[in-house]
Amino acid sequence: MGFGTWQPSSQVAPGSPTDPRLVRLLQAAESLLDETQLSWLSAVAASDQAAWQSLFGAIHDPSALKSEINAFRYRPTKVTVRIERDDPAAVLREASAALVTGATASFSFREEPTEGLAAALRGLGYCVSVTPDKQFDATAQGRVRHLGERDLLAEAGGSIDLNVYGGPSLPTGRLALLPYVHEQAVSVTNHRFGHPTPMTDDLRF
């Protein structure tokens, strides 16, 4: 994502998630969003769940070698969601991505959010704070999912300790979950001096 930007598609397939965490999110959103926004959030949450089950939450070994194990996997990571515009649907969309991945997320607002939105996020287990731009820029580090129009990385001084995932909220889980996970590749030699070995039979990734 650092070499370009993504733009949301105009449509997302209708759907409803079954993951209890995402069901709780939708219940919390009922008093915050209109019917159209709520249907959109339900659809993107279902997309998140599908992406987690088929891709991010699964172990993949495309090489399928008998002499090696090359497991490709994703692990949840720590993320700060920085919100600099008034868009509750976008904020809850990011909460969906954080929930389904199990990422340790906190939500930092430029301006005070509504009581309902703050309560919904806290009810889902997230820390909510209000921090002016100058103060946030001076202390920002790690991964930041940025919902705003400015160039956050440039205004933070281009720190190598800061990794900014900017752009609008994306409806497709395959893309929206990327800021909330680390990619990992685990390689294991599956033989002893060229002979098959049972040592890895019970290995779990």
Cα separation, 97 vs 94, in Å, equals 5
Q: Check whether 95 has a pLDDT greater than 80.
A: yes
Q: What is the pLDDT of residues 96-141, one digit of tens each?
A: 999 999 999 999 999 999 999 999 999 999 999 999 999 999 999 9
Residue 34 tokens read as 């209109």
Cα separation, 17 vs 189, in Å, equals 39
**Percent residues over pLDDT 70 in the chain:** 94
Q: What is the pLDDT of residues 24-72, one digit of tens each?
A: 999 999 999 999 999 999 999 999 999 999 999 988 777 777 777 788 8
Cα separation, 35 vs 160, in Å, equals 42
What pLDDT is attached to residue 2? 54
Contact in structure between 108 and 137 (CB atoms under 8 Å) = no
Cα separation, 136 vs 110, in Å, equals 9
Please return the burial class of 162, using the count of CB atoms within 10 Å of its CB with bins 0-12, 13-18 and 19+.
middle
Cα separation, 158 vs 8, in Å, equals 26
Cα separation, 28 vs 4, in Å, equals 33
Give the pTM: 0.86
